[in-house]
Amino acid sequence: MKNVKVGIVGYGSYIPRNRIKVEEIAKVWGADAPSYRRGLMLQEKSVPSWDQDTATMSVEAARRALQRCKVSPQDIGAVYVGSESHPYAVKPTGTIVAEAIGAVPHCHTADLEFACKAGSEGMFIASQQVRAGSFPYALAIGADTSQGAPGDALEYSAAAGAAAFILGRDQILAELLETHAYMTDTPDFWRREHMFYPKHGGRFTGEEAYFRHLLTCSREIMEKSGRKPKDFAYAVFHQPNGKFPYRAGEMLGFEKEQIDTGCLVPKLGNTYSGASPLGLSAVLDAAKPGDIILMVSYGSGAGSDGFIWKATSLLSKVQGLAPKTWDQINKDPRYLDYGSYAKHRGKIRMNEGD
């Protein structure tokens, strides 16, 4: 099976237009904005409107992925949506997406959840399914509209966005050269049933959680494929803040330039399940034929999925067929004050309807 070529045949991303700056949040809680800007390299983050959620962003990202390929939605045999903010606690998001893009009814669907790793999980499963010949194409989406508790450090980074990838065996834009998974049971971040905001282990989320899993996964996948950091044009790491992916890259021997294109977090915030998938989408927007790309996700709880992709000559033909990720980040942002942000995010207690 391994000699069957699989890869990304279509990709798309979606980022809400609304933003809030770290200074606006810090002002409300009397926090030190410069420390977030310098220390965590966070400038601003995307904010979903009341009418945007994981389902809506997933649909738009999926439609953009379809714009970049000639795949008929009816040939998409599987839809996997990874998120920790599925709109329903019980009722799938994947059915909404499959229905909206016209992939129903002969379609396998699953909602995935593994903190910030759920998106890459879908890509992992989808690629194996396609390689095994179960479906001609499979769609994997990472999307989140995560919330940090008001005043919590996570409030400065928890953002919204989605990236969608159609995996297939022909007309490949980025061939999948290698996959790898590394995980242990490490409770560094969680949200219990019925709780609105997540809890985290503070500084415990660093060394034993993010760095251990992400670095090990990265080293092992490079070793498995016989590649060294200099062999990669780009590296995309999970990005809970601006500091962590650069630090991880440095520890692995990557240059800043290899990380820049796929590191969206300073301007976008942490899109959780969307984070490394969105980073990959930004890299695909820029990659040249033959470029090798390392992508390693991280999800609290905890684990990392690693992927090595190789851009094909077809990629440059489709990059302009849908909105590019960095263009969405930079184009026409609408800055909210904290009051409007709280309104959009449902943080204001409203009257009961009648």
Partner 1 sequence: MQPQEFWREIPQRYRLEASKCLKCGAVFFPPRRRCAACGHEKFALTRLPREGKVTTFSVIRQGGGDMIRISPYAVCLVELEGGVKIAAQLVDVEPEAIKTGMPVRLEFRKIRETGDAGVICYGYKAVPA
Residue 13 interacting with partner 1 (CB under 8 A):
no
320 or 346: CB nearest partner 1:
346
Sole window of 64-72, 98-106, 196-204, 248-256 interacting with partner 1 (rule: CB under 8 A): 98-106
The residue to which tokens 């851009």 are assigned: 311
Which residue, 1 or 350, is less far from partner 1 as judged by CB?
350
CA 236/CA 214 separation, integer angstroms: 11
| 156 Cβ neighbours under 8 A, 6+ residues apart | 22, 25, 26, 36, 40, 42, 45, 148, 269
Annotate 62-86 with DSSP letters as a single string.
HHHHHHTS---GGGEEEEEEE-S--
Nearest to 105 by CA among 74, 59, 84, 135: 74
9, 59, 143, 177: which one contacts partner 1 (CB under 8 A)? 59
Cβ closer to partner 1: 241 or 325?
325
- How many residues bind partner 1 (CB under 8 A)? The answer is 22
Strands (E), 205-246: 234-237
Among 31, 67, 75, 87, binds partner 1 (CB under 8 A): 87
**108 three-class SS:** strand
Binding to partner 1 (CB under 8 A) within 193-212 occurs at none
* Beta-bridge partners for 83: none
H or E stretch including 185? strand 174-186
Q: Shortest gap between Cβ of 248 and partner 1 (angstroms)?
A: 35
Is 84 among the catalytic positions? yes
**Annotated catalytic, 223?**
no
Q: Identify which range of 25-33, 44-52, 226-234, 297-305 contacts partner 1 by CB under 8 A.
A: 44-52
Q: Residue 96 interacts with partner 1 (CB under 8 A)? A: yes
Using the rule CB under 8 A, is 53 a contact of partner 1? yes
CA torsion 336-344-44-61 (nearest 10°) is -120
Residues that bind partner 1 (CB under 8 A): 17, 49-53, 55-56, 59-60, 63, 87-88, 96, 99-100, 102, 334, 343, 346, 350, 353
Active-site positions read 84, 116, 238
